[in-house]
């Protein structure tokens, strides 16, 4: 079953693969099968299972296409990730006064008119534009003791969400006077 699955995965992910292209099978030093479109020293031609789909790769634009050939890119597909970089996921922050500095990053960098919005425990706390290096900084005040979930969303000029970032949990430690 594993060799058939590996061939299927290889064929499905092979960029620019041709339905008639050869697939080679060899065994690595650990005795595990390796499938490739390039024959290695000990490789043999692998039998491709029936029903395997082969897809041609979508190559990135070189910028040399005629104006009529260009396909518009949907605005919502422009962003790949919005991450909290600090505090790290699961990190405890000592903030006796409740001041917590969050750093994040949106990839690729924010476009003109777009903003990063910070949510902590489901509530919108701040909006920010990216720094020159593409990083984001949020200064939070009076953050309560305990665990908090934060995420960064990207919104357009109308306030519509273009990307909802991955949530990250951090913990705030505050001294108690009894």
pLDDT in tens, 18-27: 556 677 777 7
CA atoms of 148 and 128, how far apart (whole Å): 20
CATH 2.60.40.10 boundaries in the chain? 77-173
- CATH number for the region 77-173 comes to 2.60.40.10
Give this prediction's pTM. Answer: 0.55
Q: Is 15 helix (H, G, I), strand (E, B) or coil?
A: coil
pLDDT of residue 45: 73
CA atoms of 97 and 85, how far apart (whole Å): 22
Percent of the chain past pLDDT 70, that is, above it, reads: 66
Task: Extract the residue ranges of the chain whose pLDDT is less than 70.
Answer: 1-21, 35, 37, 46-77
């Amino acid at each position: 079953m594993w060799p058939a699955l590996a061939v299927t995965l290889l064929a499905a992910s092979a960029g620019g693969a041709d339905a008639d292209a050869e697939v080679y099978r060899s065994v690595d030093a650990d005795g595990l099968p390796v499938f490739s479109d390039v024959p290695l020293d000990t490789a043999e031609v692998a039998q491709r299972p029936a029903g395997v789909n082969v897809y041609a790769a979508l190559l990135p634009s070189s910028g040399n296409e005629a104006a009529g050939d260009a396909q518009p890119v949907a605005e919502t597909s422009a962003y790949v990730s919005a991450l909290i970089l600090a505090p790290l996921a699961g990190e405890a922050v000592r903030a006796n006064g409740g001041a917590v500095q969050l750093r994040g990053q949106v990839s690729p960098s924010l476009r003109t008119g777009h903003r990063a919005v910070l949510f902590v425990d489901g509530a919108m706390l701040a909006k920010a534009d990216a720094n020159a290096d593409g990083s984001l900084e949020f200064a939070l005040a009076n953050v309560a003791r305990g665990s908090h979930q934060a995420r960064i969303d990207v919104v357009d000029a109308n306030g519509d969400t273009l990307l909802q970032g991955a949530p990250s949990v951090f913990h705030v430690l505050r001294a108690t006077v009894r």
